[in-house]
Structure 1
């Protein structure tokens, strides 16, 4: 899946900021300069800079421009990152080498998954385990489930997300290298279609100190 242009542009600047090529306080090029350099419109540039703002990497100074934040934070934003591949998400966050490994299998629905998806116990589900590491250090692991006849988040209209500090599952603890009793940051997601069907469930674990903050972004209807 190809990332949108604004995600790629934001990722390029994010990497430069995090590896020190763009130090705190330095001014970024103007909208017009960025647009010309990448061959995109001002709208694309604006969305890229909004993404950098949301990640805590840059700040705006009225009548002067965009500057690298004094202390760039590592912020996880949802559902913005749902438009990205895991490779793009973690690659944009890090100036280090990121590796993504996926393991896909067909499983039988447990009582809990059957109830969530509205299928029968034992019915077939697709299970994907995604593991991410940064210079060989584990930084994320997720279990994603969906019925094999659905196209996942492409049919979803709503995302429910719950964030908590809790004990990891044994598989997540093993990958992240936590010691018994250590908590991790967990994100539980349910992707829901317009007819209220759950089309995908994802359970993600990160080291507790991976992110400075978590931000949930959603569209609001002005007529709601």
Structure 2
């Protein structure tokens, strides 16, 4: 999915805030100035600022403007992050080099994966392991599975995410350099189509101190 303009604008400011280019208390340009620089409408800018505000990166002061918050947090926003590849997601959080490696293979579904995807045990599924590092430090690893005949999440209508601290699998612990018995921040994802079928499941692990908060946004019809 193409990245919406407001996500791109927010990502640019988020990166500049988190790297210290925009220090706490700095006033952001006016909505009109940002709109002119970015070639977008005022509505798009308002959505970008709202996203930054929900991430705890900026604060608004009545009749004065928008300012960089005094204490900034790394916050995971959904579903906006699902519109980005990992290179873009992590690139918006740092100016250090971000490297992403992917291993793709066809495997037989274990009982756990078969149950999660509603398949027979041993059915062929696609598995993608994605490893990300920032400045040489491992920051994320994920295991993603989906039926072999399905590609991507274009048919998905619902995304469920479960967040918890847990002891990681051996592979995740090794990549994130977690000691025996140590915990990671885990996100379990289920992408479900209009008929209730699961088109993809994914388990993502982050270092426990990577994010201070997780924020979720949904549209209420």
Q: Provide the secondary structure at the position in 1 that maps to 2:150.
A: coil
Q: TM-score, normalised by structure 1?
A: 0.94
Please say if residues 3 and 85 of structure 1, whose CA atoms lie closer than 8 Å, have aligned partners that are also in contact.
no
**Cα distance between partner residues in 2 of 1:87 and 1:188:** 20
Report if aligned partners of 1:3, 1:88 keep a CA contact under 8 Å in 2: no
Measure, in 2, the Cα distance between the counterparts of 1:148 and 1:50: 39
Given that 1:30 and 1:65 are in contact with CA atoms closer than 8 Å, whether structure 2 keeps it comes out as: yes
Cα distance in 1, alignment partners of residues 100 and 157 from structure 2: 27
| Alpha-carbon separation, structure 2, partners of 1:168 and 1:116 | 18
Once residues 83 and 47 of structure 2 are traced to their aligned partners in structure 1, the CA distance between those partners, rounded to angstroms, is: 13
Between the aligned partners of 1:58 and 1:148, the Cα distance in structure 2 is: 43
1:211 CA drift (Å): 0.5
Matched residue pairs, number?
221
Displacement after TM superposition at 1:75 (Å) = 0.8
Corresponding residue SS for 2:12: helix
In the alignment, which residue of structure 2 is the partner of 1:10?
A: 10
Match in the other structure for 1:65 = 65
The alignment partner of 2:92 has SS state of helix
2:141 matched to 1:167?
Answer: no
Q: Which runs of 5+ in 1 are unaligned?
A: none
What's 2:100 paired with?
100
Task: Say yes or no: does 1:31 pair with 2:35.
Answer: no
C-alpha displacement of 1:2: 4.3
Q: Cα deviations across residues 101-135 of structure 1 (Å, max 9, x unaligned)?
A: 11111111111211222222211111111111110
More displaced 10-residue stretch of structure 1: 193-202 or 73-82: 73-82
TM normalised by structure 2 equals 0.95
